């Protein structure tokens, strides 16, 4: 299964609105809080996206 990488929320919406994510997996590498993640997962069926996953970013410890 192909996976599309979205680098920004804007790129996600642009591709979803233009039906470019239908039948694909999507991995988001931008910051998405819990509320945004829940919303995006909720509209997954509307845009016919197979799966949406998110990167977890951990800030390095300052030296």
Residue 59: predicted pLDDT: 66
Residue 61: predicted pLDDT: 72
Which burial class, exposed, middle or buried, applies to 49 when counting CB atoms under 10 A from its CB (0-12, 13-18, 19+)? buried
DSSP bridge pairs for 5: 27
pLDDT in tens, 10-53: 999 999 999 999 999 999 999 999 999 999 999 999 999 999 99
Full-model pTM = 0.84
Pairwise CA distance, residues 33 & 50, whole Å: 21
Which burial class, exposed, middle or buried, applies to 34 when counting CB atoms under 10 A from its CB (0-12, 13-18, 19+)? exposed
Alpha-helix residue ranges (DSSP H) falling in the chain: 9-17, 34-42
Residue 44: predicted pLDDT: 96
């Amino acid at each position: 299964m192909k996976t599309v990488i979205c680098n920004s929320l804007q790129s996600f919406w642009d591709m979803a609105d233009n039906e470019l994510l239908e039948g694909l997996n999507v991995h988001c590498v931008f910051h998405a809080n819990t509320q945004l993640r829940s919303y995006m997962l909720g509209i997954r069926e509307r845009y016919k996206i197979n799966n949406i996953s998110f990167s977890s970013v951990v800030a390095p410890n300052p030296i």
